[in-house]
């Protein structure tokens, strides 16, 4: 009798998948205006942003004075003028209902890593008659309650009131799903007393503080008329796509987002043939539909390509204001998940879904830009080397501030990317290490070192010579070097690439921490420059003195070599850099004395808000590991062990029958003994694991101790259990193995 999986499990799925056409699972749910009657795509610009009430729609529909006030509010980061709110609400309602929208929601980002929404109908009644209404108060604020979201102790169950408030800098948009259209109002989520319960509020606060500190420094440098300094983001999103039916047969992928067992296939990524290769037709159709939906939402996706691992891909947008970039990244992830299902596929965003091959990151390309009524300053990138001596001096001082920030708050930045998923990725052989360092490239490294040494000239590649007298400092090349893939924080020309952020995470939190650290450094450099200007009359000369000291103090954070090497681990330790390999120890940096002082000084997070984020993230980590542990136990007990025991029994029966027939039993006996030995190993590992898991669960009232036990002993026991299961996978007959294998998920036929 055939094994059950032969007819109803993984093999039946394989037959179904292999019979599909390349475009199986797709449908005709394409964006209106995205294709003409012949199915030929029209220009993206013709439908880009049609589902957003952005600048173009506001200009066309709002009265001129209202439009001017609203745009000024958005551009300069000011609160919305309440006098114009009724007019804006009325126009938004007319625009939305004209596009078939029936409901609206304040769309916000709680501390879950995802987004949240509660839909309300435009429907109201006047004299008993139904009408569509949407008031200014409904646009600006809502009370969703939302008491079940994690708050880290900021509010008790009986103090559940929470409020959402529109962030006018991020345009409202329409989401089309399930045949419905919903107006989404990007919002912040705060408690009754104004405490931040979400990811966006602290990000906006950090941008305000960074702007304030940057303007003060710019004025000291002689740059007047700066209205605001913003941070910009270009977020590269990596992800895997696997067949949905395969995904459904993997309890670990469904429950935990990653495989908890699974032997490495003979071929993984070692041939390097997937990276930048031709995109499979089925995937191309999926990605194209994702892009069409995102273009309608005003998300400027610019790049798509195969990534290094099999079945791994990447998308990336143009640079945007950080808060809008964060919103758009959340929309990109949600749209990717939703559209993948239409194509019979599953988008997997976990940082390390498959052991032994590359994981996924979310590379946040970060910079700072000026907003000013002065056209010579407006839009100027503060991390872009300039064309004049003054522009280069300005570049050097802001560069020094970033290096100072990363050096001083390396532990905090590591905490910002600390999750259960990223723990499997950081330090692996394709991802940035858990040690935070900065890569500057050959040219800038040499320039910085020469400034520290007090040299008057800097010898650069290609026989170039830079005179370091500030009056004659020529233009600095933007990106005179290759990128360093092993660096968690690399300068790549006019921006820093924060590569350590995990693929499934919201970028809001790590970027907020980066903003805060840089804001403090800018403030401290401003004070030092003020003091120096009392002794040195020329601003540029004073700047160079201050910059020299800052570059020297932060020297240990700069590293140009291989971040994956064992030598770097030893070198980093000698430099005094932190190596926070496990998530709980990294998260502890959130409540360190230095971090408390930072946020107290800047006013971005109160003591309670900061502690709440530590508790939310630690609790999430504990829950993630416990979910993984119980899922692994069920897989072993109900799938792996029964399959192995059944196969061992068949082998033993074969040995017995061979003996009865007087046949040679050596090969059969060795095979049976091998499987029986591996089953014993599996059961022993299972017993050790169960004991540790019970101990961890008994510590539910001691979160920090529980986290330490889970991150080390329980995780190590899970790994040993996995190794035992994986050893069985490669010897148990293929038709007996109950789970889709790596080769079947990652190399579809």
Distance CA 520, CA 538 (A): 25
Is the confidence at residue 469, as pLDDT, over 90? no
Instruction: Provide the 8-state DSSP code for 170.
Output: S
Confidence of residue 428 (pLDDT cuts 50, 70, 90): low
Cβ neighbours of residue 88 closer than 8 Å, sequence gap 6 or more = 62, 66, 70, 80, 136, 139
The CATH number that applies at residue 193 is 3.10.20.70
Is the confidence at residue 23, as pLDDT, over 70? no
Least confident range from 63-72, 107-116, 602-611: namely: 63-72
Cβ atoms of 354 and 370 closer than 8 Å: no
Question: What range defines the domain where residue 667 resides?
Answer: 619-746
Is the confidence at residue 595, as pLDDT, over 70? yes
Confidence of residue 20 (pLDDT cuts 50, 70, 90): low
The number of beta carbons lying within 10 Å of the beta carbon of residue 438 is 21
H or E stretch at 132? strand 129-132
Percent of the chain with pLDDT over 70: 88
Do 212 and 169 belong together in one domain?
A: no
What is the pLDDT averaged over residues 470-479?
46
In three-state secondary structure terms, 241 is strand
In 3D space, the residue among 89, 100, 99 whose CA is nearest the CA of residue 62 turns out to be: 89
The partner residues of 497 in beta bridges, in order of sequence, read 365, 490
What is the pLDDT averaged over residues 194-212?
94
552: tokens are 């020297």
Cβ atoms of 207 and 323 closer than 8 Å: yes
pLDDT score for 30: 46
Percent of the chain with pLDDT over 90: 63
Q: 198, 214, 241: which is the final residue of a domain?
A: 198
Do 320 and 459 belong together in one domain?
A: yes
Position 610 in a domain: no
pLDDT score for 401: 98
Q: Is 528 left (phi over 0), alpha (psi -120 to 50) or beta?
A: alpha
- Using one digit for the tens of pLDDT, what is the confidence trace for 669-688? 898 899 999 999 999 999 99
Among 61-75, 424-438, 674-688, which range has the highest average pLDDT?
A: 674-688
How far apart, in Å, are the Cα atoms of 168 and each of 60, 79, 115, 324? 17, 8, 17, 10
Do 690 and 707 belong together in one domain?
A: yes
Instruction: Provide the 8-state DSSP code for 171.
Output: -
pLDDT score for 154: 62
Do 276 and 187 belong together in one domain?
A: no
What is the pLDDT averaged over residues 209-213?
97
Distance CA 530, CA 206 (A): 24
The partner residues of 303 in beta bridges, in order of sequence, read 316
pLDDT score for 83: 85
Position 393 in a domain: yes
Distance CA 599, CA 591 (A): 10
At what angle are helices 607-635 and 666-697 packed, to 10 degrees? 150
Do 655 and 534 belong together in one domain?
A: no
In three-state secondary structure terms, 301 is strand
pLDDT score for 29: 45
Do 182 and 316 belong together in one domain?
A: no
Q: 605, 640, 656: which is the final residue of a domain?
A: 605
The CATH number that applies at residue 698 is 1.20.120.1560
Do 504 and 628 belong together in one domain?
A: no
Do 511 and 539 belong together in one domain?
A: yes
pLDDT score for 176: 94
Do 567 and 661 belong together in one domain?
A: no
The partner residues of 365 in beta bridges, in order of sequence, read 234, 497
| First-to-final CA distance of the chain | 28
Cβ atoms of 500 and 421 closer than 8 Å: no
Residue with tokens 């980590």: 621
Do 366 and 494 belong together in one domain?
A: yes
Least confident range from 255-264, 290-299, 317-326, 422-431: namely: 422-431
User: C-alpha dihedral over 127, 131, 137, 138, to 10 degrees?
Assistant: 130
Is the confidence at residue 599, as pLDDT, over 60? yes
What is the pLDDT averaged over residues 225-249?
96
- Using one digit for the tens of pLDDT, what is the confidence trace for 377-414? 999 999 988 778 888 889 999 999 999 999 999 999 99
pLDDT score for 31: 45
- Using one digit for the tens of pLDDT, what is the confidence trace for 255-299? 999 999 999 988 888 777 788 888 999 999 999 999 999 999 999
Is the confidence at residue 12, as pLDDT, over 90? no
Distance CA 250, CA 264 (A): 16
Position 52 in a domain: no
Do 633 and 552 belong together in one domain?
A: no
Cβ neighbours of residue 328 closer than 8 Å, sequence gap 6 or more = 235, 294, 297, 298, 299, 300, 317, 320
Position 512 in a domain: yes
Do 96 and 193 belong together in one domain?
A: yes
Is the confidence at residue 59, as pLDDT, over 80? yes
Looking at per-residue pLDDT, the higher value among 281 and 126 belongs to 281
Position 54 in a domain: no
In three-state secondary structure terms, 584 is helix
Domain count, the chain: 3
pLDDT score for 32: 45
Position 41 in a domain: no
Confidence of residue 129 (pLDDT cuts 50, 70, 90): confident
Position 20 in a domain: no
Position 611 in a domain: no
pLDDT score for 82: 80
pLDDT score for 71: 82
Confidence of residue 73 (pLDDT cuts 50, 70, 90): confident
Q: 581, 605, 629: which is the final residue of a domain?
A: 605
pLDDT score for 623: 96
Is the confidence at residue 5, as pLDDT, over 50? no
The CATH number that applies at residue 436 is 3.30.590.10
Looking at per-residue pLDDT, the higher value among 664 and 632 belongs to 632
* Strand bridging mode 180-191 / 103-107: parallel
Distance CA 230, CA 515 (A): 10
The partner residues of 369 in beta bridges, in order of sequence, read 230, 381
Q: What is the mean pLDDT of the chain?
A: 88
């Amino acid at each position: 009798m055939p094994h059950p999986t032969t007819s109803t499990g993984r093999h039946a799925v394989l037959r179904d998948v292999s019979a599909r056409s390349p475009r199986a699972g797709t449908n005709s749910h394409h964006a209106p205006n995205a294709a003409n009657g012949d199915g030929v795509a029209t220009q993206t610009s013709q439908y880009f942003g049609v589902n957003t009430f952005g600048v173009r729609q506001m200009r066309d529909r709002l009265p001129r004075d209202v439009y001017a006030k609203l745009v000024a509010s958005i551009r300069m980061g000011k609160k919305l003028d309440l006098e114009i709110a009724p007019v804006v609400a009325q126009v938004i309602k007319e625009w939305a209902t004209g596009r078939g929208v029936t409901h609206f929601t304040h769309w916000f980002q709680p501390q879950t890593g995802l987004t949240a929404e509660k839909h309300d109908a435009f429907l109201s009644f006047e004299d008993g008659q139904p009408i569509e209404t949407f008031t200014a108060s409904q646009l600006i604020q809502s009370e969703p309650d939302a008491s079940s979201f994690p708050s880290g102790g900021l509010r008790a169950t009986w103090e559940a009131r929470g409020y959402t408030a529109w962030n006018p800098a991020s345009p409202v948009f329409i989401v089309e799903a399930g045949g419905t259209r919903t107006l989404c109002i990007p919002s912040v989520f705060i408690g009754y007393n104004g405490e931040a319960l979400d990811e966006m509020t602290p990000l906006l606060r950090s941008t305000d503080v960074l702007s304030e500190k940057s303007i003060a420094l710019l004025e000291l440098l002689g740059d007047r008329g700066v209205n605001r300094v913003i941070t910009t983001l270009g977020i590269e999103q990596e992800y895997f796509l696997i067949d949905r039916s395969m995904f459904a047969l993997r309890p670990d992928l469904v429950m935990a987002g990653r495989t908890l067992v699974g032997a490495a296939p003979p071929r993984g990524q070692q041939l390097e043939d997937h990276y930048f290769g031709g995109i499979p037709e089925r995937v191309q159709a999926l990605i194209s539909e994702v892009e069409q939906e995102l273009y309608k939402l005003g998300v400027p996706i610019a790049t798509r390509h195969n990534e290094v691992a099999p079945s791994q891909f990447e998308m990336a947008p143009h640079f945007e204001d950080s808060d809008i970039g964060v919103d758009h990244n959340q929309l990109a992830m949600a749209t990717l998940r939703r559209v993948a299902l239409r194509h019979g596929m599953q988008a997997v965003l976990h940082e390390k879904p498959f052991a032994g091959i590359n994981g996924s990151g979310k590379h946040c390309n970060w910079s700072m830009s000026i907003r000013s009524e002065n056209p010579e300053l407006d839009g100027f990138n503060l991390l872009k080397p300039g064309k004049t001596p003054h522009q280069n001096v300005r570049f050097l001082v802001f560069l020094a501030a970033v290096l100072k920030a990363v050096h001083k708050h390396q532990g905090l930045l590591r905490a910002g990317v600390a999750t259960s998923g990223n723990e499997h990725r950081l330090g692996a052989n394709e991802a940035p290490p858990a040690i935070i360092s900065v890569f500057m490239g050959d040219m800038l490294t040499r320039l910085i070192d020469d400034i520290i040494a007090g040299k008057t000239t800097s010898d650069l590649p290609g026989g170039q010579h830079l005179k370091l007298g500030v009056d004659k400092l020529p233009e600095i090349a933007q990106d005179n070097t290759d990128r360093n893939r092993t660096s968690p924080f690399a300068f790549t020309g006019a921006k820093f690439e924060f590569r350590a952020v995990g693929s499934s995470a919201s970028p809001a939190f790590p970027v907020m921490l980066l903003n805060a650290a840089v804001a403090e450094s800018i403030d401290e450099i401003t004070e030092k420059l003020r003091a120096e200007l009392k002794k040195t009359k020329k601003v540029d000369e004073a700047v160079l003195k201050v910059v020299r000291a800052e570059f020297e103090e932060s020297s240990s954070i700069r590293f140009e070599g291989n971040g994956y090497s064992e030598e770097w681990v030893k070198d980093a330790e000698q430099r005094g850099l932190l190596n926070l390999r496990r998530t709980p120890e990294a998260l502890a940096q959130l409540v360190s004395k230095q971090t408390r002082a930072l946020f107290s000084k800047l006013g971005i997070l109160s003591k309670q808000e900061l502690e709440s984020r530590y508790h939310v993230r630690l609790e999430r980590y504990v829950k993630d590991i416990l979910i993984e542990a119980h899922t692994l136990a069920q897989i072993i007990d109900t799938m792996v062990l029964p399959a192995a025991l059944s196969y061992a029994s068949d082998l033993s029966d074969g040995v017995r029958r061979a003996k009865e027939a007087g046949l040679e039993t050596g090969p059969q006996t060795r095979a049976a003994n091998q499987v029986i030995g591996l089953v014993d190993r599996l059961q022993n590992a299972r017993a050790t694991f169960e004991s540790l898991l019970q101990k961890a669960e008994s510590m539910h009232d001691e979160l920090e101790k529980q986290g330490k036990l889970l991150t080390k002993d329980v995780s190590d026991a899970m790994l040993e259990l996995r190794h035992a299961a994986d050893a069985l996978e490669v010897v148990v007959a293929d038709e007996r193995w109950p789970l889709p294998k790596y080769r079947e998920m990652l190399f579809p036929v």
